[in-house]
Amino acid sequence: MSDVTTTLKEFKRDIESAKNLDSLEIIETKYLGKKGKINELLQSIGILNQNERKELGSEVNKLKATIIQLIGQKRTQLAGSETSDSFIDVTLPGKRYPKGSLHLVTHAIEEISAIFARIGFIRMQYPEVEWEYFSFDALNMPKGHPARDDFETFFIDAEEDAKFGKQVLTPHTSSGQVREMLRMNKPPIRMINISKCYRPNWDTTHTPMFHQFEGLCVDKNINITHLKGAIDYFAKQFFGENREIRLRPNHFQFTEPSLEPDITCGVCLGTGKVKGVKCKVCKSGWLELAGSGMVHPNVLRAGGIDPDTYSGWAFGFGIERVMMMKEDLKLDDMRTMYGNDIRFLEQF
Amino acid sequence: MNIQITYNWLKEYLDTDASPYEIQKDLSLGGPAIERVDKADDDYILDVEITSNRIDSASIIGIAREAAALLPRFVKKALLRKRDWTIPILKKNRLTVQIEDKEKLTNRILAVILEGVTIKKSPDYIVKRLEAAGIRSLNNLIDITNYVMLEIGHPTHVFDYDRIGTGKLVFRTAKRGERLITLDNKSYTLFGGEVVIDDGSGRIIDLPSIMGTSNSVVQNASKRIIFFIDNVNAVLIRKASMTHGIRTLAATYNEKRPDPELGYTALVRALNLIQELTTPASMSEIFDVYSKPVKPKKIEITPEFITSRIGVAIPVAKWTAYLEPLGFKVSKKTSSIVVEPPSYRASDVQIAEDVVEEVARIYGYNNLPAVLPPLTYIKQPKEIDQLFQFQSKVKHFLKDNGLHETMNYSMISEKLIRNAALEVKSHVRLKNTISEEIKFMRTHLLPSLFMNIKNNEGKREILKFFEIAKTYKKRENDLPVEKYKLGIVVNSSLSDLKGIVDALLTELHIDKFEVIPSAVNFLTKQSQAEFFVGSEKVGKYGELSTEHRLRYGLKSNVFTAIFDFETLIKVARPFAKYKPINPYSEIKLDLTYASTSKLTFSQLKKISFKTSPLLQKIELVTVFKDKVSLRFYFSSQDRNITEKEAVRELAEIKKNF
């Protein structure tokens, strides 16, 4: 009996006795490993003459192929029949990975920036501690305007500037409008300005610090339909299709005409009532969403832009407000937003 | 401001078949927002929001005009009912009042003295309509003042003629410290600058346009009265009303510049009601101080301009017709149109854009198409782009590693500044804060973050917070410097914090940083250090000192890191630097040593790399008390090294410790 036949016999006996994948692994190494039987046979070839070599070589290769095939078959067979005795509760939670959170406002800012980036608006930022000039005068809000008084704006204890007036905490992102016009030098302008803003109010619907985002578009031939287009686009992207939008006239010093987009309330879903009680958040199902309008010619002039050649629109949204109006967010107290309670934060 | 009017009252001025709910829906889209409609007996109460520029619409007449312009656009019948009031025919008396305004505080004053009035209860319809508006009925005379204000849109007032005595009404600004008692018997000390009326003897007898005083108000026995309309400097009215907290309905009207012309309409309407309800025996002449009558500006506008701003071509005949029910006069020139606003819109409509608004809102914003602005490329400044990108990257990285982002007010209390052992006077201070909690702009993030831990102690065992926000550094004669910082606080351990920081720096591809022990006052002496990249100080970290911990009232230890965000961006790399894969053998050797202040890991690392050119990296394996175990990785870029070689390298390193 040749060595090849003996080896095959031995292999068949071994593989017959293999009861699991581990013992099959040992058998595989015994025959096909670096120091296995097949290599042993091939090494013995060296002492043979050329004809014998050829013959044995071909036989060993055949044997190798047979062994590989049989091991493969056995592996498939064992893998199919293998069962474990021990019970594993596959419903148990896995290894715990850290779960942190981003602030709601951050989520909103990132989403809003992305939405406007898609239609070519760049995000800018301007001072929060700002001159009266950029917060008011340049926005067609002359001295004596109610928004400029102590009850509507925080003033800073600092020297008044001869040209720019007092320092204030900017009460709106609109202070970035004229700064952007001056930075760009001339249209086209497509900007959003996202920033902290401040006003002296502190109750369920107001925090003394809040966030706004301002949109500004100045170019040749810009009209109200473009403002409507941008607001419509944003509302559909941000709130989804099940919320309704309406545009109504309003009054802002720095826009003319001035428009106020309203959206159906996310807390009462436009019904005006929660469990039969008047909704705490909205007015008859509608929420004021933003202030907007066509940029007032005096504002364009303050930004060095000729209102006879160019026109534009602007809007300002409250970020906390739009976040509260998003479908699944039924916050009934704005102050929660900056309470930084871990039980609130960790949810986002 | 909001006013409440009733549907039946409105119908006295408006001929319409629209229901109150239809009026709500249609008016809200193009005119004043009707926020609520409530049924009340056989009437409906409409809660109307009035924007600050449209005080002319804060009345029955005003809403009727808006409805007459807007409802036809929704195919509903709406016509104004003209009610042209004339001065009632009454016996004349010779009573006079002398009105003085040397400081030019008023736009128009109207006064009539009536003799023999009968003060009694008002008729039911007046009581009900006032109640609907949230106004309590007092007597027929007082009720008339309120009723006329709501119907016509100009506040009115009534004095007891005999209680004034002198027959003089002198308008002047108050001196600081003067006192008055309002008709609701509240006493006020004046700041100076409020507009008051005195009787010529220095005695204050009214806080005009805001509230009457108790010494001149009509009483049940009053027989001779002055019916009075004052149109006063709106800025001064608002200031006085706000500073004293006297927010009457009259004040909210008067601070929005009601039309002086409307004052006359209000007077005539009131006289009719006075005649009917109080049956006076006689009246005086009408005293009218009105030096500069309102003159609306004529606006010339082209149809092309209207189209260019609205974006839709509306035929001229159509849009000029929109303006008529609103009281505008329109005349055509060859290629343009001249629009003249009514007196009650004189301050609101002054330029062509104002006319565009009137046309657009009556046409209906909801009838306009929505068109995206034409696309154009605008370059974002690189440093702004980077700032936002890195913020986002860092925030997401920290979040993914289990930290929670907080957002604190930029303003903090003096107490918090003192807790942090910072100088109060180096902070930007708010002049008119509404709470001691938010009085100064913060120069550092950490005090707020420590408070975040403090306020959450006990709610979760492990607390890990971070915040990226601006700090505000005071400057002389200029705006403060606004600089972003990144603050991290955890209550777990110093090693946990250091791990977060190391991971963050790795994420930002800052591979060559050095950690040097520091001596910052609010951190524990032994456990604090600063990060350097080259000579650039990037940030610091450590354990909050016990003294500071107790100041914040913190129960557990707190570990913190702070970075200057712009510096972090400066030293960060946006992308990893590729190193070729080394195909040669790598030998790992462990070493345990005793850690002392003289041999820190940072120093040891420096020495090791300096000593052995074959050293590739050092990893921390374990720390047990002062025993630190490290793993050294040796390899060469051009051949396989032997274990022997590596052992020799390590021995060489050890020699240099």
Range in A68-77, A273-282, B502-511 the model is least confident about: A273-282
Question: Hey, is B245 helix, strand or coil?
Answer: coil
pTM of the model: 0.85
B464-473 and B523-533 strand pairing: unpaired
Burial class (CB in 10 A: 0-12, 13-18, 19+), B343: middle
Structure tokens at B338: 């001249």
Q: Look at B52 and A122 and tell me if their CB atoms are within 8 Å.
A: no
In Å, how far are B545, B619, B624 from B603, measured between CA atoms? 25, 14, 19
Residues of A in contact with B255 (CB under 8 A): 146
Average pLDDT for B420-446: 97
Structure tokens at A238: 């941000």
A289 has a pLDDT exceeding 90:
no
The string of pLDDT tens digits covering residues B177-192 is 999 999 999 999 999 9
Nearest-CA distance A293 → chain B (Å): 10
Average pLDDT for B390-416: 98
The interface predicted TM-score (ipTM) is: 0.87
Nearest-CA distance B396 → chain A (Å): 7
The string of pLDDT tens digits covering residues B341-381 is 999 999 999 999 999 999 999 999 999 999 999 999 999 99
Average pLDDT for B276-304: 95
Average pLDDT for B79-85: 89
Sign of the torsion formed by the C-alpha atoms of B299, B304, B310 and B315:
positive
A332 has a pLDDT exceeding 80:
no
Which H or E element spans position B451? helix B446-456
B83 has a pLDDT exceeding 90:
no
Q: Look at A311 and B309 and tell me if their CB atoms are within 8 Å.
A: yes
Closest residue to B405, CB basis, from A106, A191, A233? A106
B475 touches chain A (CB under 8 A): no
pLDDT bucket at B547, cuts 50 / 70 / 90: very high
Which residue carries 């007996």 as its tokens?
Answer: B41
Tell me the sheet residues that pair with B158.
Answer: B227
User: Residue A9 CB: number of other CB atoms within 10 A?
Assistant: 11
Using CA coordinates, name the residue in chain B closest to A257. B357
Residues of B in contact with A98 (CB under 8 A): 400-402
Sign of the torsion formed by the C-alpha atoms of A141, A144, A147 and A148:
positive
Sign of the torsion formed by the C-alpha atoms of A100, A104, A106 and A110:
positive
Per-residue confidence (pLDDT) for residue B268, from 0 to 100: 97
Per-residue confidence (pLDDT) for residue A240, from 0 to 100: 82
Per-residue confidence (pLDDT) for residue A83, from 0 to 100: 65
B207 touches chain A (CB under 8 A): no
Tell me the sheet residues that pair with B194.
Answer: none
B365 touches chain A (CB under 8 A): yes
Structure tokens at A3: 């060595």
B28 touches chain A (CB under 8 A): yes
Q: Tell me how far the alpha carbon of residue B547 is from its chain's centroid.
A: 39
A214 annotated ligand binder: no
Specify the CATH superfamily of domain A104-121+176-345: Bira Bifunctional Protein; Domain 2 (3.30.930.10)
Give the alpha-carbon dihedral of B135, B141, B142, B143, to 10 degrees: 10
Per-residue confidence (pLDDT) for residue B579, from 0 to 100: 85
Average pLDDT for B310-325: 95
Q: Tell me how far the alpha carbon of residue B122 is from its chain's centroid.
A: 42
A260 has a pLDDT exceeding 60:
yes
Task: Spell out the domain ranges in chain A.
Answer: 2-81, 104-121+176-345
In B52-146 the beta strands, taken as DSSP E runs, fall at 78-80, 91-92, 98-100, 106-115
Q: Which of B339, B327, B296 is nearest to B61 (CA)?
A: B327
Helices (H), B159-291: 161-164, 234-244, 249-254, 260-278
Give the whole-angstrom CA distance, residue A123 versus residue A319: 15
Residue B165 phi/psi, 5° resolution?
80, -55
The string of pLDDT tens digits covering residues B191-239 is 999 999 999 999 999 999 999 999 999 999 999 999 999 999 999 999 9
Is the distance from CB of B108 to CB of B229 less than 8 angstroms? Answer: yes
Give the whole-angstrom CA distance, residue B471 versus residue B411: 10
B374 touches chain A (CB under 8 A): yes
Average pLDDT for B611-618: 94
B440-441 and A255-264 strand pairing: unpaired
Structure tokens at B3: 């006013």
Closest residue to A196, CB basis, from B242, B403, B410? B410
Tell me the sheet residues that pair with A38.
Answer: none
Q: Annotate B394-431 with three-state secondary structure.
A: HHHHHHHCCCEECCCCCEECHHHHHHCCCCHHHCCEEC
Residues 414-433 of B with CB under 8 A from A: 428-433
Nearest-CA distance B395 → chain A (Å): 7
Q: Which of A7, A117, A113, A126 is nearest to A70 (CA)?
A: A7
Give the whole-angstrom CA distance, residue B522 versus residue B416: 14
Q: Which of B319, B311, B303, B302 is nearest to B358 (CA)?
A: B319
For A139, which DSSP code?
Answer: G
Average pLDDT for B147-154: 97
The string of pLDDT tens digits covering residues B576-586 is 888 889 899 99
Q: Look at A150 and B432 and tell me if their CB atoms are within 8 Å.
A: yes
Residues 221-260 of B with CB under 8 A from A: 235, 238-239, 242, 255
B558 has a pLDDT exceeding 70:
yes
Nearest-CA distance B405 → chain A (Å): 5
Per-residue confidence (pLDDT) for residue B68, from 0 to 100: 96
Sketch out chain B's domains with CATH numbers: 2-80 (3.30.56.10), 96-290 (3.50.40.10), 299-365 (3.30.56.10), 382-571 (3.30.930.10), 587-655 (3.30.70.380)
Residues of B in contact with A190 (CB under 8 A): 373, 376, 378
Residues 447-466 of B with CB under 8 A from A: 452, 455-456, 459-460, 463-465
Q: Look at B35 and A283 and tell me if their CB atoms are within 8 Å.
A: yes
Give the alpha-carbon dihedral of B116, B120, B126, B132, to 10 degrees: 130
Sign of the torsion formed by the C-alpha atoms of B373, B377, B378 and B383:
positive
Burial class (CB in 10 A: 0-12, 13-18, 19+), B641: middle
- Mean pLDDT, all residues of chain B: 95
Helices B124-132 and B140-152 pack at an angle, to 10 degrees, of: 60
DSSP states along A287-318 = EE-EEEEEEPHHHHHHTT--TTT-EEEEEEEE
Instruction: Identify how many contiguous H helices and E strands chain A contains and give both numbers.
Output: 11, 12
Cβ partners under 8 Å of residue A207, min gap 6: A201, A320, A334, A335, A337, A338, B409
Looking at per-residue confidence, does B543 or A149 come out higher? B543
Per-residue confidence (pLDDT) for residue A77, from 0 to 100: 85
B327 touches chain A (CB under 8 A): no
A1 has a pLDDT exceeding 60:
no
A278 has a pLDDT exceeding 70:
yes
Give the whole-angstrom CA distance, residue A204 versus residue B69: 37
Closest residue to B429, CB basis, from A157, A283, A345? A157
Range in A322-326, B50-54, B390-394, B395-399 the model is least confident about: A322-326
Per-residue confidence (pLDDT) for residue A84, from 0 to 100: 64
The string of pLDDT tens digits covering residues A79-88 is 877 666 778 8
Give the whole-angstrom CA distance, residue B178 versus residue B463: 57
Size of the A and B interface in Cβ pairs below 8 Å:
239
Cβ partners under 8 Å of residue B189, min gap 6: B177, B178, B179
Average pLDDT for B7-32: 95
Residue A110 phi/psi, 5° resolution?
-65, -40
Give the whole-angstrom CA distance, residue B590 versus residue A109: 48
Residues of A in contact with B357 (CB under 8 A): 249, 256-258
Per-residue confidence (pLDDT) for residue A327, from 0 to 100: 58
Per-residue confidence (pLDDT) for residue B381, from 0 to 100: 97
Give the whole-angstrom CA distance, residue B122 versus residue B125: 8
Cβ partners under 8 Å of residue B622, min gap 6: B628, B629
Average pLDDT for B267-271: 97
A311-318 and B195-198 strand pairing: unpaired
